[in-house]
Chain A
Amino acid sequence: MVLEKGKVSSRQGVLLLTFTVVVSTAVLTVPAITAAAAGRDGWICTLVVATVYGLLTALVIIKLWQRFPNKTIIEYSQIIAGPLGKVVGAAYILWFIHINSVVVREFGDFILTSFMPETPLIAFNIILLFLGAWATKSGLEVICRANEFIFPLFTLSIAGVFLLAMQEADFSNLLPVMENGIKPILRGSWAPMAWRGEIIVVSMLLPYVDDSDNVGKYLAYSVIIIGIILTFATVFTTAVIGELTKYLTFPFFELARCITIGRFIERVEALVLVMWVAGVTIKVATFFYIASLGTGQLLGLSDYRPVVLPLGLLLGVWSLELFESSIQSIQWLTEVFSFYAFVFELGIPLVLLIIAVLTKKGGQQKSG
């Protein structure tokens, strides 16, 4: 049963979509988390460790996909693990929903903290979810196309922040490198790893990609480009803001606030916020979509659209009730999320792959 009739190119669905999904929230939070754990060495976490992890995840996803080219992870987990696969599928759907509600909450908190402290959180959450639901109903093609449209604007705004903040940068802030050895770096790597691992979303999208030759290449590109962008983000926040980075909640945002051009264009951070709204909308829409699609596939529905509304309500309530305060959400992101994400991003797929190889399930395609 094909729940999604649209087809996207691998550039749209694999390269660009994963980029936005990961970067839109990572750029906001990751520099703070890595700085808190690894101090000024945060860039090593994002550049090296997380990239290796991301490539490993990509490899597992691709290998699984090559065995089941027309199936999503929800579907092939059932083939591989039998009845247990249903549980795995359900767990994945819950995970998607959970992550999505965290994203929604995180962003609502961010706007609340930095722009409109008097506005109730629910307003932002509802708006964001409304957009997400609409995009989900419109289907994968629309999400990909919308993302393709905002991608250059999104990247340019991030690059713009880097460029404009350049004059404030003092790269000696990055010294000394690896002062306390490798341990804090590994500790700081959990967060960027967890974010990079979010490329697992493509395991839900790969069946709908129409040029399968490029998938592996583009997924690897995506991981590397994300790595570079996030590295830039950590490097620049450390270089511009310095020691202070680890105290800040949103260092990249603070970076944007530092920008002045000729003493006239100042305080442009609101414009940067605007681009983040775009990115996060896409992210929420993507997770929303894969959760709906997965639910449809798990329940054997002929269309995933009827589940959008119930899932939306669930998301809305969950995102509001998830954390009591922003402290809690930051703590959760720092301490719980990484390990939790690890299970779903690399753990389960790896186990699935091993079982599939051992039991010789799935068509052995040519290696890619």
Chain B
Amino acid sequence: MGKRFVTILIIVFILFSFTGCWSRREIEKLAMATIIGTDKVTIDGQDKWLISANMIKPRDLASQGPLGGNGSGSDKPTVLVSSIGATAWEAGRNLAARLPRREYISHANIFVIGERLARDGVDQIIDVILRSKDIRLNTWVLVAKGQALDILETEPEFEELLSQEVMGIVQNQPVASKVFTIDIKRFANQLITPGQDAVASCIEIFERKEEGQSQPGNSSDKGNGQKAVRLGGTAVFRKGKLAGWLNDEETKGYLYGIGRARQGIISLSVHELDKKDVAFAMTRASSRIVPRVEGDEISFIIDIKAEGDLQQHDDTRPIARPDVIKAVEQKAAHEIKALVENALNKAQNEFEADIFGFGNRLHKRYPQFWKQIQQDWREIYPDIKVTVNVEAKVRRTGMITDTPAVN
């Protein structure tokens, strides 16, 4: 008993002496990054990493209540910090020169890759991310048009923090199916899977402009040059290097092609040729990419099934009739097919990037055949024949049937 007591005492004593060292980090001594940007810059002829991050000032945020109260305008709740180094981590640690707190990136759930870095090749940054114990595989990857630093400089409009704003936008994407959002896990897998090229969502800055000026992505917010971020389009990589961008419509086609489209509107011309008079609101869609090998001939069939409701009808002609609905379905199928083929065309011919993962499907279906052609896949890819079959169904017509006629 006495011996045991002494042992326990010694243990407790040792434990006490352990406290206060090693991996302990007090929560208020952390500089929490919420969004991280990585860029490559050339300084004095040398390529360097530029790491930037939005760090939270918790007191400013917390004092306004739990993130709700709109900023009293006294101060920005975040600080943008950035530094340069020969490696990404050196750059990160160089922040210490100006941070009174230890940088902490576990809560950064958005990773922005600058355009220049993306063009140089994302493999380097993927290594940095995967090796770190603090960055999770479900962190979102966004590729900036321009510098990531500029994106991080943008003020959020709705939310308190830019990261929340971007997170919100990312999560809101399925309703439009115009942006391909991807996390690091999938992104890295796309990069390393043979017969597959990577894509990532693109983040860009748009300025609120005077009325009438053209703006990216059909947005028409008015204002005097305030900057905001938007997600639009897709960055296409070829062999891990940024090859180019798909715009919103092409992205939509791409999403249909790979079966990642969830909801979204497709405008159709049903009654007349040049007037889009029906909005087909998709509720679910699926796609299947089937490889075919006949002899040495490789072809693919993309089977797309889309289902949706009639959301808008801009004509007084009757529509709630099976034959008209059938026509709508055909138009919708045709429209989707055009979208997919457009994206396909761009991927095959402009970027020569296998973003649909045709090679991967071929590999899974015909592993032996794939082995023979794996080396030459990039040469073969642009010329393979892809057939797109679309089947669209209109299930419901909303709260009314025919459009009420106006006298």
Chain A residues engaging chain B, CB cutoff 8 angstroms: 113-120, 123, 130, 172, 175-176, 179, 240-244, 247-248, 254, 257-258, 260, 263, 266-267
Main DSSP-derived SS at the B contact region: helix
List 8 additional A-B contacts (Cβ < 8 Å) besides A113-B133, A241-B137.
Answer: A242-B185, A243-B193, A244-B130, A244-B188, A244-B192, A247-B192, A258-B137, A258-B185
Whether B23 sits at the interface, judged by CB under 8 Å, is yes
B127 nearest CB neighbor, chain A only: A247
Q: Are B192 and A119 in contact (CB under 8 A)?
A: no
Asked if B387 is an interface residue, CB under 8 A from chain A, the answer is no
Smallest CB–CB gap between A259 and chain B, Å?
Answer: 9
A267 close to B188 (CB less than 8 A): no
Chain A proximity of B367: nearest CB distance (Å) = 4
Chain A residues near B11 (CB-CB < 8 A): 130
Residue of A nearest to B183 (CB): A258
Given A176-B364, A241-B137, A267-B136, the answer on whether A119 and B22 have CB atoms closer than 8 Å is yes
Q: B189–A244 contact, CB under 8 A?
A: yes
Contact status A260-B138, CB under 8 Å? yes
Instruction: Report the separation of the CA atoms of residues A243 and B130 in the bound assembly, to the nearest whole angstrom.
Output: 13
**Chain B residues near A (Cβ < 8 Å):** 11, 18, 22-23, 106, 130, 133, 136-138, 171, 185-186, 188-189, 192-193, 363-365, 367
Distance in angstroms from B111 CB to nearest chain A CB is 15
Report 23 cross-chain contacts, Cβ distance below 8 Å, ordered by A residue.
A115-B23, A116-B23, A117-B23, A119-B23, A123-B18, A123-B22, A130-B11, A175-B364, A176-B363, A176-B364, A240-B185, A242-B193, A243-B192, A244-B185, A244-B189, A247-B130, A257-B138, A258-B137, A258-B138, A258-B185, A260-B138, A266-B138, A267-B106
Which of A114, A116, A117, A242 lies in contact with B189, CB distance below 8 A?
Answer: A242
Chain B residues, Cβ within 8 Å of A172: 364
Closest Cβ of chain A: how far from B266's Cβ, in Å? 27
Distance in Å: Cβ of A295 to nearest Cβ of chain B: 23
Please, how many angstroms separate the alpha-carbon atoms of A244 and B184 in the complex?
11
Closest to B106 in A: A267
Q: Which residue of A lies closest to B138 (CB)?
A: A258
Once bound together, how far apart are the Cα atoms of A175 and B136, in whole Å? 26
CB of A118 within 8 A of CB of B130, answer no
Residue of A nearest to B189 (CB): A242
- Nearest CB of chain A from residue B135's CB, rounded to whole Å: 10
CA distance A361 to B18 in the complex (A): 56
- Closest-CB distance, A254 to chain B (whole angstroms): 6
Inter-chain CA distance A83–B177, complex, in Å, is 76
Return chain A residues, CB-CB under 8 Å to B185. 240-242, 244, 258
A175-B137 Cα distance, complex, nearest whole Å: 22
Chain B residue at smallest Cβ distance from A40: B364
Contact status A114-B23, CB under 8 Å: no
A110 CB to closest chain B CB (Å) equals 11
CB of A312 to closest CB in B, whole Å: 13
Instruction: Say whether, besides A241-B185, A257-B136, A118 and B22 are in contact (CB < 8 Å).
Output: yes
CB closest residue in chain B, given A263: B171
Bound complex: CA A179 to CA B171 (Å): 37
Question: In whole angstroms, what is the CA distance A123 to B171 when docked?
Answer: 43
Cα A120 to Cα B21 with chains together (Å)? 11
Chain B's closest residue to A174 (CB) is B364
Q: Which residue of A lies closest to B22 (CB)?
A: A119
Question: Given the known A-B contacts A115-B23, A172-B364, A176-B364, are A257 and B189 also in contact in the complex, defined by CB atoms under 8 Å?
Answer: no
Interchain CB contact under 8 A, A257 and B367: no
Q: In the complex the two chains form, what is the Cα distance from A120 to B363 in whole Å?
A: 46
Closest Cβ of chain B to A274, distance in Å, is: 16
Q: Are A117 and B193 in contact (CB under 8 A)?
A: no
A235 to B242, CA, bound (A): 32
Q: Which 6 A-B pairs have the closest CB atoms?
A: A116-B23, A175-B364, A176-B367, A242-B189, A119-B22, A179-B367
Q: A244-B188, A260-B138, A267-B106 are in contact. Are A117 and B363 (CB under 8 A)?
A: no
A107 to B189, CA, bound (A): 28
A172, A242, A244, A266 — most chain B CB neighbours (10 Å): A244
